[in-house]
């Protein structure tokens, strides 16, 4: 199994994460033998999932981002949802946590609206990404090449950057992140 024994961080805001974009990659990591760890960008003890605009399940948090260190993890997953990355990109500790993965070459995977958080790191310039279509201009303005594909694995930086567009692309996203991690 490619993820056997690896610790993979999942970074979310305390509310607004698209539930299936959290749970499907989480299950893929577990199935591949990895250890997913839920980290939140605040001091919240739980995370409210959403099924688009409707409240979904509540998830227990392992630790806040203020207590997390990228050195303790082998990769990072950024689930989407509109509110989730919009909130995370305003939390300096969350942005720094993401940037530390990108700077050290550890794999990072982001789906749907999650590349908004990547934009805040300043580390997408020269990289090829996909996302929910409404982020195309934001990513291009940040220096990235935006493409409309179900999954993109960019190897131009220090480490792999895996991006995907939407929940329908989750099978390809999960396969790509398991392979890259």
Tell which residue, 28, 34, 29, 40, has the closest CA to residue 5.
34
Please answer whether residues 39 and 68 qualify as being in contact, where contact means their C-beta atoms are separated by less than 8 angstroms.
Answer: yes
Q: What's the longest Cα–Cα distance across the chain?
A: 38
Sign of CA dihedral 39, 43, 51, 56: positive
Instruction: Tokens for 89, please give them.
Output: 């990109």
Report residue 87: phi and psi, to 5°: -70, -45
Q: Is 112 designated active site? A: yes
Question: Under the phi-then-psi rule, with left for phi > 0, alpha for psi from -120 to 50, and beta for the rest, what region is 78?
Answer: beta
Instruction: Tokens for 27, please give them.
Output: 């299950």
Give the C-alpha separation, 163 to 149, whole Å.
9
Q: Which of 9, 11, 112, 129 is catalytic?
A: 112
Number of residues assigned to the chain = 181
Residues labelled as active-site residues: 112
């Amino acid at each position: 199994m490619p993820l056997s024994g690896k610790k993979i961080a999942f970074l979310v805001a305390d509310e607004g994460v698209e539930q299936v974009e959290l749970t499907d990659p989480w299950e893929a990591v577990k199935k591949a033998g990895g250890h997913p760890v839920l980290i939140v960008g605040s001091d919240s003890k739980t995370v409210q999932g959403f099924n688009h605009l409707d409240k979904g399940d509540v998830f227990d948090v392992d630790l806040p981002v203020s207590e997390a260190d990228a050195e303790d993890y082998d990769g990072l997953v950024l689930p989407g949802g509109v509110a989730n990355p919009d909130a995370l990109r305003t939390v300096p500790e969350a942005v720094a946590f993401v940037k530390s993965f990108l700077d050290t070459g550890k794999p990072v995977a982001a789906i749907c609206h999650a590349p908004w958080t990547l934009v805040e790191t300043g580390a997408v310039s020269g990289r090829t990404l996909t996302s929910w279509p409404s982020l195309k201009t934001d990513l291009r303005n940040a220096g990235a090449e935006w493409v409309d594909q179900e999954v993109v694995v960019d190897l131009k930086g220090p480490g792999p950057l895996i991006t995907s567009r939407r929940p329908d692309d989750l099978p390809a996203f999960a396969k790509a992140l398991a392979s890259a991690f």
